[in-house]
């Protein structure tokens, strides 16, 4: 995996398709870490007797923190929004949409289909992973026009805002 990531360097001359692949691979790795935190706390919550929606919420909060930190520090090369509070708020809002999607999928799988909660979480996580990457890349970390007061101060503002 390290060899793959090193071939996808960060030089400005690199085609944007390779940059997107590199970001997707890094997002997958970072999300796996965030999912491990999320699913681990979800599982612990179930073992402690919490209802699955509450266990999912606790796992989500911890996983979201891991996902944000790794996204701005390692995954994405471009940040559209200069103000960290706004960026984090939007990152969390997208995550909340993912959480609502998770809860809907868990309800469908657990309540309607009778599947075990832990395995239902695994299926929901795959769907929500794709949703979160696509929306975050489009809204927060892609080449897109945003209001001037929210845009980076310069084109060099990649990971330093």
DSSP per-residue codes, 84-112: HHHHHHHHHHHHHHHHHHHHHHHIIIIII
Full pLDDT tens readout for the chain, 161 residues: 555 445 444 455 455 889 889 999 999 999 999 989 999 999 999 999 999 999 988 998 898 889 999 999 999 988 999 898 899 899 989 988 998 999 999 999 999 999 999 999 999 988 998 999 999 999 999 876 555 555 555 444 444 44
User: 88, exposed or middle or buried, with CB in 10 Å at 0-12, 13-18, 19+?
Assistant: middle
Question: What was the pLDDT predicted at 60?
Answer: 83
Question: What was the pLDDT predicted at 119?
Answer: 92
What global pTM score does this model have? 0.66
Task: Write the DSSP symbol of residue 49.
Answer: T
Angle at which helices 16-47 and 52-70 pack, to 10 degrees? 150
Positive or negative, the CA dihedral 113, 119, 124, 126 is: negative
Task: Write the DSSP symbol of residue 158.
Answer: S
Interatomic CA distance for residues 63 and 56, integer angstroms: 10
Question: What was the pLDDT predicted at 158?
Answer: 46
User: HSE-up of 136 (CA within 13 Å, CB side)?
Assistant: 31
Question: What was the pLDDT predicted at 147?
Answer: 57
Question: What was the pLDDT predicted at 148?
Answer: 54
């Amino acid at each position: 995996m390290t060899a793959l990531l090193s071939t996808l360097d960060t030089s400005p001359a690199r085609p944007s398709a390779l940059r997107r692949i590199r970001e997707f691979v890094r997002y997958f790795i970072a999300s796996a870490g965030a999912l491990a935190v999320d699913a681990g706390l979800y599982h612990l919550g179930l073992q402690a007797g919490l209802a699955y929606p509450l266990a999912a919420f606790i796992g989500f909060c911890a996983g979201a923190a891991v996902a944000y930190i790794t996204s701005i520090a390692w995954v994405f090369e471009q940040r559209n929004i200069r103000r960290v509070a706004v960026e984090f708020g939007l990152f969390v809002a997208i995550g909340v949409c993912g959480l609502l999607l998770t809860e809907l999928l868990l309800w469908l799988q657990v309540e309607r289909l009778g599947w075990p909660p832990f395995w239902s979480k695994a299926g929901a996580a795959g769907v929500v992973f794709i949703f979160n990457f696509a929306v975050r890349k489009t809204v927060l970390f892609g080449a897109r026009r945003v209001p001037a007061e929210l845009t980076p101060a310069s084109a060099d503002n990649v990971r330093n805002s």
